[in-house]
A and B are shown apart, each in its own frame.
Chain A
């Protein structure tokens, strides 16, 4: 089954404790992206990657890191989480950067930072 898999789905952590949210897709997609969704603000892009070893900042990259060492994986790293990073996070992928609007989303990761 074609899918984008995120883990963990739910996480409660404390300020400053490093965490990683993993994202993996099995569709051989070139393009991958991370979004956060907050009430009233919609989906905002954090980082995106057009292909292996190619990443770039989105609208709200502060406090986040990413890497793309393999085509299928695109982890999101919060080096020192803060309460304002409490949000619902989605990983998404598309066939290529030419189709960046036709996104397949993961199920989401709800993060709470205390």
Chain B
């Protein structure tokens, strides 16, 4: 069974802090990795994708991938209350897309 594991949280950080969200996956053949944000009652939206080892930065968001450790993370710098949402890690191998159950993040003013 190919699994994507996330800490369900909730993760609570103060406004302005760095939020660190983690994800591990079991299938070594996984080729591409994604982070989706889902606000309560809304649909998931893609915020980051990463395809090779290392860091990828986009504004306040940084995705980190370590294929040897089968680990992908998302850092949110200068966290804002508007970042409060559930963050879904997704792992893709060819046509098989797997989602983690999500980590709920709360940013407190």
Q: Which residues on A are within 8 Å of B, measured CB to CB?
A: 33, 35, 40-45, 48, 50, 56, 90, 97, 100-108
Residue from A44, A100, A106 with most neighbouring chain B CB atoms (10 Å): A100
- Interface assignment of B97: CB less than 8 Å from any CB of chain A: yes
> Could you say which residues of chain A place their CB within 8 Å of the CB of B43?
90, 105-108
Shortest B34–chain A CB gap in Å is 5
> Which bucket holds chain B's interface residue count?
20 to 34
Do most interface residues of chain B lie in helix, strand or loop, or is the interface mixed?
strand
Whether A41 touches B97, Cβ cut-off 8 Å, given contacts A90-B44, A105-B45, is no
Rounded to whole Å, the gap between the CB of B37 and the closest CB of chain A is 11
Q: Is the CB of B32 within 8 A of A101?
A: yes
| Chain B residues with CB under 8 A of A40 | 8, 101
How many whole Å from A8's CB to the nearest CB in chain B?
Answer: 15
Smallest CB separation, A92 vs chain B (Å): 8
Q: Is B92's CB under 8 angstroms from A100's CB? A: yes
Whether the pair B34, A102 counts as a contact (CB closer than 8 A) is yes
* A residues less than 8 Å from B49 (CB atoms): 101-102
Minimum distance in angstroms from A80 CB to a CB of chain B: 27
Can you list, as one digit per residue, whether each of B66-103 has a CB less than 8 Å from chain A (1) or not (0)?
A: 00000000000000000000001010100101011110
B17 located at the interface, meaning its Cβ lies under 8 Å from any Cβ of chain A in the complex: no
**Cα distance A101–B36 in the bound complex, in angstroms:** 10
CB distance from A88 to the nearest CB of B (A): 9
Which A residue sits closest to B2, measured CB to CB?
A59
The 5 tightest CB contacts between A and B, nearest first, are A42-B101, A105-B43, A43-B99, A101-B92, A101-B34
A103–B101 contact, CB under 8 A? no
